[in-house]
């Protein structure tokens, strides 16, 4: 899927769920393919409403079965890593965090990438449900067959410092 198609699909998903962006905001939708060139499998689309030295708010859009690869938000310049709360708006999101492994999970990492997905405690989020991920915690998430929209509320986002388990990932 090319960049423009991903943006158009993101806008459609947001509009279908009554999440309104201005025309100017639509121009700032980010398509994050993580440098892997396989967006429909690993990556996500997002819009950042605000990101200050105190807080951040974003919409995360996942296409059907799309996975945001495992990563963590480490301490930066003596400050704790990012703490984030995910609130599901549409679809189902399978969130995996460090902790006791869940038996019989609802989904799995992308084929051939299992070694890079080490967080095994499953948290299932449906519309209206939310979960807070502590700083410096490995996590990854995947949309159900219908795709998903997640509102993220967090402390300051410093994506350039995120640490991904997969060494092939390049988050710009």
**109 falls in which pLDDT band (50, 70, 90)?**
very high
Calculate mean pLDDT across residues 46-58: 97
- The answer to whether position 171 is within a domain reads no
pLDDT digits (tens, 9 = 90+) for 114-144: 999 999 999 999 999 999 999 999 999 999 9
pLDDT digits (tens, 9 = 90+) for 22-40: 999 999 999 999 999 999 9
- The answer to whether position 144 is within a domain reads yes
**170 falls in which pLDDT band (50, 70, 90)?**
confident
- Domain total for the chain? 1
pLDDT of 44 strictly over 70: yes
**16 falls in which pLDDT band (50, 70, 90)?**
very high
Which phi and psi (to 5°) does residue 10 adopt? -65, -45
pLDDT of 172 strictly over 70: no
The DSSP output letter for 120 is -
Q: How far apart are CA 3 and CA 32, in angstroms?
A: 9
Q: How far apart are CA 92 and CA 165, in angstroms?
A: 24
- The answer to whether position 153 is within a domain reads yes
Nearest-5° Cα angle at 128, 94 to 122: 20
Q: 146: which 2 tokens? A: 């219908």
Query: What range defines the domain where residue 65 resides?
Result: 3-164
- The answer to whether position 155 is within a domain reads yes
Give me the residues paired with residue 84 across strands: 133, 154
CATH number for the domain including 67?
A: 2.60.120.10
Least Cα distance to 26 among 44, 43, 42, 49 occurs for 49
SS3 annotation, 65-112 = CCEEEEEECCCECCECCCCEEEEEEEEEEEEEECCCCCCCCCCCCCCC
Give me the percent of the chain exceeding a pLDDT of 90.
Answer: 95
- The answer to whether position 172 is within a domain reads no
- The answer to whether position 85 is within a domain reads yes
Calculate mean pLDDT across residues 67-93: 96
- The answer to whether position 53 is within a domain reads yes
């Amino acid at each position: 899927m090319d960049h423009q198609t991903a943006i158009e699909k993101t806008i459609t998903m947001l509009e279908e769920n009554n999440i309104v962006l201005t025309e100017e905001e639509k121009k700032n939708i980010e398509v994050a393919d993580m440098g892997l060139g396989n967006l429909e499998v690993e990556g996500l689309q997002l819009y950042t409403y605000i990101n200050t030295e105190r807080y951040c708010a974003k919409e995360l859009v996942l296409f059907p079965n799309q996975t945001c690869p495992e990563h963590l938000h480490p301490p930066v310049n003596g400050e704790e890593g990012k703490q984030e709360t995910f609130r599901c708006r549409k679809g189902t999101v399978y969130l995996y965090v460090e902790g006791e492994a869940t038996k019989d999970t609802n989904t799995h990492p992308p084929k051939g990438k299992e070694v890079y997905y080490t967080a095994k405690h499953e948290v299932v989020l449906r519309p209206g449900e939310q979960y807070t991920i502590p700083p410096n915690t490995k996590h990854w998430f995947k949309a159900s067959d219908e795709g998903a929209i997640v509102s993220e509320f967090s402390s300051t986002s410093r994506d350039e410092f995120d640490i991904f388990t997969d060494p092939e990932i390049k988050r710009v």
